[in-house]
A and B are shown apart, each in its own frame.
Chain A
Amino acid sequence: MILTRKFRDGLFGILTLMPAALIVGICLLIPVVRTVGYSFLDYKLSRSASRVKPAFVGIKNYMKTIESGELWNSLVITVVFVFWVTLILFLMGMALSLLLSGVRRGGKVLRGIVLLPWITPTIISALLWTWIFQPQYGALNFVLKSAGILSENAAWLADPDLALPSIMTAAIWKQLPFMFLMLLAGLQGIPKELHEAAIIDGATPLQDFFAVTLPSLRNVIRTTILMTIIANFKQFPLFQIMTNGGPMNRTTNLAILSYRHAFGNLDFGSGAAVATVWLAILVVFSLVYGKIFPEGERE
């Protein structure tokens, strides 16, 4: 009787897991493994119906993207983008959550308003900022010229030096609410007594922040920063809509590069090679991240 129940429970456990496991396996896990395989093939999709069996070419796809310099270029752009976006997001999110956690009246309404960019669809965010950055009629140029900061219209998204920071602005705008929400939840989870004890011991607010607040937020910060880094590593729609990788490939991140090879040139091998390098970087990064910032004790 006990055995059969255990057996039935086991069967139930496996059967209930199956649908999700099958979908994720077939549409996520296996494709990733196969893409890694494609990166070693000369796999070009022909528009005609006749299909040629892809031939094994070793690391030729990798060499091609390395030798042309585009892989390195995209890698640098991706890392620079992720670094600045994450850093600025964290600092701004921290400031905003500290400010709003002190608001008593209307705090909930304010929080709701602050979250609006987060739920705005990504390509709509891209369009909004493209409109704001518009060179002749854009709001930003008008405001900056009126304030005397700019003397001439800047072509934000078409200027090689300004394009990446412009996309960063849109990315930060879109993601600040999420960062804020996570940090606020963390802040609200800190017992009041901890702060009171620190103040009674004569700690300044700054000391209180570094000795009480930051350590208590450890796990939240760890998780949120990792999520932010991964999400921005994958950023595609903002780049595609706002600059499409230009000007002069100054905003061609790994996502754009891989897409361009695979679906622009229909060269799946090269696209897969870029995606594989990118995957490897993220895997190594997550492992290192886990080592450097181990999960703190749970209460």
Chain B
Amino acid sequence: MKSDKAEPAKGRSIRSLSAIVKAGLPSKVEALFRAAIRFLILSAFLALLLFPLLWMLSSSFQSNEELYRSPPRWIPRSPMLGNYASIIASRDFLRYYINNFYVSLITAAITMLAAVFAGYSLSRFRNRLTTGISVTLLSTQMFPVIGIIIALYAFFRSLKMINTHAGLVLALTAASLPFCIWLIKGFFDDLPRSIEEAAEMDGCSRLGILFRIVLPLSKPGLLAIGIFTFMQAWDDYLYGLTLVVSDRLRTLSVGISLRYLGEVSYDWAQVTTISVVASIPVFFLFVFFQKYMIQGLTAGAVKG
């Protein structure tokens, strides 16, 4: 604002650097000032995005007595591992955790397999039917999940598939498939056909082409759909809440919400510790596969 005042006012508050250079004004001051503003706004964004996570981490190393005092200790004075020890010792938590891993991994595996086949089919065989299927798949994204679950519950009940991991995996696979097919189809669309045609000339079967040529070339896409499905299944709450009844089979989100969240008061030391432990697998995935996740997600949307 200072450099704006120094300049003959023309009623515009934001000026391009080049205009200022032309006017012969101290562009360095202006640039420095801009950089400072940028830095401040960016810091505010970072604080907003990171504070809840850091506070979760810090809280998990404090006892409830420490957490319930004012002013709060932003950094634990004597970090304690007691919360973690009691969580790991808790049989229930461990079971929910293992169930969640199991369900998420199987869901990811089935989804990847089915999505690769379907995506390849939709990408290579174009006719009215496959176009129709593509559109239908995309439109399923706006279905209200409860709307699906109400009938699915009745259906699974008649098949005695309520309260089974198989039912839960099927439902989660169906929920992930449309997006994954759409994503992997985009990858297949971008591959040059000439390689496949050459392989076909050499007598390679369709299946051979898919597994030996197309898949190795679309590894990033394959990884992306696998990770997305795992994360979506790991994140699931509503399907697990409705389709699984017995505590023995419960998945993580549902287990946490039903067992550790009281009606009146929460044991915040415990809840924040659970939160940290529950986030660890997806954070790890993210650290190692960030590139593929970002590539997979943005490729589709930027293309339109």
A binds B: yes
Report which A residues bind B (CB closer than 8 A): 8-10, 12-14, 16-17, 19-21, 23-24, 26-36, 38, 45, 92, 95-96, 99-100, 102-103, 110, 112-117, 119-125, 127-132, 134, 136-137, 139, 142, 146, 173, 176-178, 181-182, 185-186, 189, 199, 202-206, 208, 219-220, 222-224, 227, 230, 233-234, 236-237, 240-241, 254-255, 258-259, 262-263, 268, 271-272, 274-276, 278-279, 282-283, 286, 295-296, 298
Find A35's partner among B121, B151, B237, B256 (CB 8 Å cutoff). Answer: B151
Q: What distance in Å separates the Cβ of A266 from its nearest Cβ neighbour in chain B?
A: 10
B53, B155, B282: most-surrounded residue (chain A CB, <10 A): B53
Min CB distance A193 to B, Å, is 16
B93 at interface, CB cutoff 8 A = no
What residues of B have a CB within 8 angstroms of the CB of A274 in the complex?
146
A237 to B48, CA, bound (A): 21
Residues on the B chain within 8 Å of A122, using CB = 235, 237, 253
Cα A10 to Cα B282 with chains together (Å):
40
Cα distance A237–B256 when bound, in Å? 12
Tell me the B residues contacting A by CB distance below 8 Å. 12, 14-16, 18-19, 38, 41-42, 45-46, 48-53, 55-56, 59, 67-72, 110, 113-115, 117-118, 120-122, 124-125, 130, 133, 136-137, 139-155, 170-171, 173-175, 177-178, 181, 206-207, 231, 234-235, 237-238, 241-242, 252-253, 256-257, 261, 266, 268, 271-272, 274-275, 278-279, 282-283, 285-286, 290, 294, 297-298, 301-304
Taking A17-B130, A275-B144 as known contacts, 12 extra A-B pairs with beta carbons closer than 8 A to each other, sorted by chain A number, are A19-B117, A23-B170, A27-B174, A121-B278, A122-B253, A123-B235, A134-B268, A142-B72, A173-B49, A237-B253, A268-B154, A275-B146
User: Could you say which residues of chain A place their CB within 8 Å of the CB of B145?
Assistant: 234, 236, 255
CB within 8 A of A20: which of B15, B118, B124?
Answer: B118
Report the minimal beta-carbon distance from B159 to chain A, rounded to whole angstroms.
Answer: 10
Min Cβ gap B113→A in Å is 7
Interchain pairs with CB closer than 8 A, number: 297
**Contact across chains for B177 and A24 when beta carbons are under 8 A apart:** yes
Q: Which residues of B contact A96 (CB under 8 A)?
A: 42, 45
Return 10 A-B CB contacts under 8 Å, by A number.
A23-B177, A35-B147, A96-B42, A130-B266, A176-B49, A182-B298, A182-B302, A263-B241, A276-B147, A279-B142
Complex Cα spacing A296 to B283, Å: 36
**Which applies to chain A's interface (DSSP): helix, strand, loop or mixed?**
helix
On chain B, the residues within 8 Å of A259 by CB distance are: 146, 238
Q: Do A102 and B38 form a contact, CB below 8 Å, given A173-B49, A241-B257, A271-B146?
A: yes
Q: How many whole Å from A259's CB to the nearest CB in chain B?
A: 5
List the A residue with the shortest CB-CB distance to B200: A5
Within 8 Å by CB of A117, from B53, B68, B261, lies: B53
Residue pair B235, A115 in contact (C-beta under 8 Å): no
User: Which of A177, A186, A255 has a CB less than 8 Å from the CB of B146?
Assistant: A255
A27 engages B302 (CB within 8 Å): no
Judging by beta carbons under 8 Å apart, are B133 and A17 in contact? yes
State the Cβ distance, A167 to closest chain B Cβ, in Å: 14
Chain B residues, Cβ within 8 Å of A38 = 150-151, 154
Q: How far is the CA of A142 from the CA of B68 in the complex (A)?
A: 12
Chain A residues whose C-beta falls within 8 Å of the C-beta of B38 in the assembled complex? 99, 102
Distance in angstroms between the alpha carbons of A279 and B237 in the assembled complex: 20
- Rounded to whole angstroms, the CA-CA distance of A35 and B147 in the bound complex is 6
Chain A residues whose C-beta falls within 8 Å of the C-beta of B170 in the assembled complex: 23, 26-27
With A112-B290, A120-B53: A298-B275 Cβ-Cβ less than 8 Å: no
Q: Which of A19, A95, A117 contacts B41 (CB 8 A)?
A: A95
B298 touching A272, Cβ below 8 Å: no
- Pair B142/A182 contact, Cβ less than 8 Å: no
A13 and B175 form a contact (CB under 8 A): no
Of the residues A102, A177, A286, contact of B49 by C-beta under 8 Å: A177
